A and B are shown apart, each in its own frame.
Chain A
Amino acid sequence: MSADALAPVASPQPDSAGHFGRFGGRFVPEALVAALDELDGAWRTAMADESFRAEFAALLRDYAGTPSLLYEARRFSAKVGARVLLKREDLNHTGAHKVRNVLGQALLTKRMGKTRVIAETGAGQHGVATATAAALFDLECVVYMGEVDTERQALNVARMRMLGATVVPVTNGSRTLKDAMNEAMRDWVANVDETHYLIGTAAGPHPFPAMVRDFVRGIGDEARQQCLDLTGALPDAVTACVGGGSNALGIFHAFVGDEAVRLYGFEAGGDGVATSRHAASITGGSAGVLHGARTYVLQDADGQTLESHSISAGLDYPGVGPEHAWLHDTGRATYLPVTDDEAMAAFELLCRTEGIIPAIESAHALAGTLTLAPKLAAELGREPTIVVNLSGRGDKDVHTAGDYFGILDKER
C-alpha cells in the first residue's frame, strides 16, 4: 500500500467527539478520558505526519505482506452465479486483516512512549496479532481471553505464549469476549500511564472506531484499485462479515462514496435471529450503550447485555462498531444475518471449489454472497461482479469444522 492510500477520502467522518449520527461517542469512566484524548491527539498527529505514514506503509508491505491479492475465484463464481473476486486478507502475516490494525496501534504505542499493551480476544486471532506486534516492537503484552474461549481455542493460547504474551483467562460473567473486554478496560483504568489498550475492532469509545477503521482501510483502497485494474469497472457489490466490524469497515470505506456500489454486511445469525442464539446485533438487537459507545446491542428489556452465540468465535460478540450502526441507519449499507449452517455450507463450498480454507467468520460473507448473487443478477439483468472480503484463513477453525462435518477420526 502506498502512503497515499491513507489520505483522507470524501466519505463521511464522525464529529470531533466521535459521533456517527446518534451512535459512537464516549461512555467511559472519567479516569480514561485523559488517555483517550492523548490517543486521539497522537493518532491525528501521526496520520498527518508523512514519516509515520511511510513507516506504517513499509511495515504493511515488508512485514504483513500487503497489498493482499484480489483473486478471481472462477470455480466458486460458477456456483454462485456472479463474478466473485476474493480479497485475500487470509494471506497476510498472522492470517487475517487484523495485522493491519495491530501494526498501526503498536506504532502509535511507541510514539506515545508507552511500554505495555493489553488486548481482549475471542477466538484468539486478535490476541495472536497483538502478541506478534508486541514481539516485533518489544512491548510487554497481556491478553485477556474468556475462560470458555481459552478452552475452545487452546492452540491460539499456545501461540500467544510462544510469542511472549501473558494470557489471562477471564472467569467472570459469561467468560467470553465481552467479559474479556470488561477485564481489559479495568486493567486500563488501573495502568493507563504506561499501557495502551489495543482494541481489536472498530468498536469502543472514540477515537477507537475511527482510528481502527483508518488502520484497516487499506483493504478497500487496494481492492477498489485492483478491481478497476482487473475488470475496468467498480464492482456491483462489496460484501464482508460483521462481528465488531473492522474487516467490513476496512473494505467498505473506500467504496462509501461510490453510490452505485452496494455494501453488504453479513452478521452471525447463529441458530437464526428468531431464536435467542445468535450474534446479529444490528438485525436482531436494539440501540444501546456497550463498551464505551452507543451502538446496536443484544440486550434485554432492562438493558442487560445478552449472551451472543455463533459457531464463529470471532463474530460471537453482542455489539457492533458504531459506524456500522450509522451506515445501517442511513441505509448506505445493508446488514443481513447468516446462520451457522449457511456459513458452514459456504465454508465447504470454497474449500472444494478453490482449495482455500476460509475462516468461519469469512465464510459468513461467502454465504451471504451466495444468497445475494441471484437477486442482484435479476435486478441488474446481468452477471454481477462482487468483491468479497476473505478476511482470514481457516486453519484455526479446522477442529470446529471437523466436528461440524463429522470428519474427525474417533479418538481411541
Chain B
Amino acid sequence: MSRIGVAFDKARADGRALLVGCMPAGFPTVQGSIAAMTAMVEAGVDVIEVEIPYSDPVMDGPVIQKASDIALAGGVRTADTMRIIEAVAATGAPVVTMTYWNPVERYGVDVFARDLASAGGTGLITPDLIPDEADEWLAASDAHGLDRTFLVSPSSTDARLAMTVQHCRGFVYATAVMGVTGARASTSDAAPTLVSRVRAVTDLPVGVGLGVGTGVQAGTVAGYADGVIVGSALVRCVLDAPTEAEGLAALRTLSGELAEGVRNPTR
C-alpha cells in the first residue's frame, strides 16, 4: 500500500480525517516555501501538497494564482520543486505533488516520475489531466511506484466517476464545488453527495478540497470525508503577512486550528 494509503488508514483508525495542506513550491522563495511547509507539518498538517507553480493555472483562484506568480517571478524551476519535495519529505510527512500537466510533459513524463520518486514524493494530483489523456502517466507512475490522484466533480457522470476512480491510486480528490480554489464562507452542499457517490464505486480514501478555510469547516468536511484538503487559506497566511516570521506564525495558528477540526468531525 502507498504511504498516503497508510496515513489515511492510521487517521481512520484514530477516528479522524487526514489534513492535507497545500503550498506552491518556491513561494515566497525556495527556502521560504520549505520553512512554510515544515511549519505546517509541525503544527499538525498530516500531508503536504506541493503545487508546482504554473503560468496558466485555470483551476486556481486569485490567492494561489498570486502566490504562483510570485514564485515564478522569483525564478523557481521544476528542479527546485524536486529539492523542496525532498526537504519536506525529510520531515517524515508524506508529500504529494499537485501540478498542471504541461510542466510534466516538458520535463519528460518518465524522467519526471523517476525524479519525483527519488525525491520522496508519493504521487501526483493532476487538475487538468483526466484519465482519458493519461496513458503516458499511467505507465510512468506504475514504473516508478507513484500514486495517481485524478479529480472527480459534482458534474461527473456515474460512468466517468467509476472510470476515474479505477485509475486512481492512493486517494481520490473530490472537488466540493463547481469552481476554482479559494476559501469560501460556507462549505458545499454538493460535497457529501459526491463523496457518497465515490464511496459507492471504490474503497480508496476520499479527500475533499475547494473552499475549506477554517477549523469549523474542516470539522464539517471531516464528518463525511477521509481527507480535508486546504490550500488558499493557508497560502493567504503567508501572502498577507508583512514579514516572513509573521507569516509562519499565522500559518502555524491556522494549521493548528485545522488539525483540531479534523479531530472533531461534525457528524
Interface residues of A (CB under 8 A from B): 17, 25-35, 172-173, 178-179, 182, 185-186, 189-193, 288-292, 297, 299, 301-305
Contact = CB atoms under 8 A, between A and B. Distances in A.
A301 B80 CA distance: 13
Interface string B144-168: 0000001111111100100010000
B93 interface: no
Interface in B65-80: 65-66, 69, 72, 77-78
A189 B59 contact: yes
Nearest to B152: A30
Contacts of B107: 302-303
B153 A30 contact: yes
A28 B178 CA distance: 14
A170 to B, nearest CB: 11
B152 to A, nearest CB: 6
7 contacts: A27-B130, A29-B153, A31-B151, A191-B178, A289-B102, A302-B78, A303-B102
The list of the 9 closest CB pairs from A to B, nearest first, reads A303-B106, A31-B153, A190-B179, A303-B103, A303-B102, A34-B155, A305-B55, A185-B58, A289-B102
A288 B105 CA distance: 7
Which of B56, B62, B69, B179 lies at the interface centre, i.e. has the most chain A CB atoms within 10 A of its CB? Answer: B56
B103 A31 contact: no
B75 to A, nearest CB: 10
B180 A189 contact: yes
Contacts of A26: 130, 132-133
Contacts of A33: 130, 153, 155-156, 160
B128 interface: yes
B102 A299 contact: yes
Interface in B164-181: 164, 175, 177-180
B192 interface: no
A34 B157 contact: yes
B26 to A, nearest CB: 11
Contacts of B155: 30-35, 192
Contacts of A305: 55-56, 102
Interface residues of B, number: 42
Contacts of A30: 130, 150-153, 155-156, 160, 164, 175
A207 to B, nearest CB: 14
Contacts of A289: 101-102, 105, 128
A181 B77 CA distance: 24
A193 to B, nearest CB: 8
Contact of A28 (B57, B130, B164, B175): B130
Contacts of B77: 302
Contact of B103 (A178, A193, A291, A304): A304
B150 A27 contact: no
Contacts of A302: 77-78, 103, 106-107
A31 B155 CA distance: 6
A364 B240 CA distance: 46
A291 B102 CA distance: 10
A29 B57 contact: no
B155 to A, nearest CB: 4
Contact of B56 (A25, A34, A291): A291
A192 to B, nearest CB: 6
A297 B69 CA distance: 19
A299 B106 contact: yes
B129 interface: yes
Nearest to A302: B78
B180 A186 contact: yes
B55 A304 contact: yes
B32 interface: no
B148 to A, nearest CB: 13
B102 A288 contact: yes
Contacts of A191: 178
A25 B133 contact: yes
Contacts of B72: 304
B117 to A, nearest CB: 19
Contacts of B54: 303-304
A347 B107 CA distance: 41
A29 B56 contact: no
B5 interface: no
B61 interface: yes
Contact of A29 (B69, B133, B151): B151
Contacts of A31: 151, 153-156, 175, 178
Given A30-B156, A302-B78, A303-B102, A173 B151 contact: no
Contacts of B157: 34
A290 B102 contact: yes
B127 interface: yes
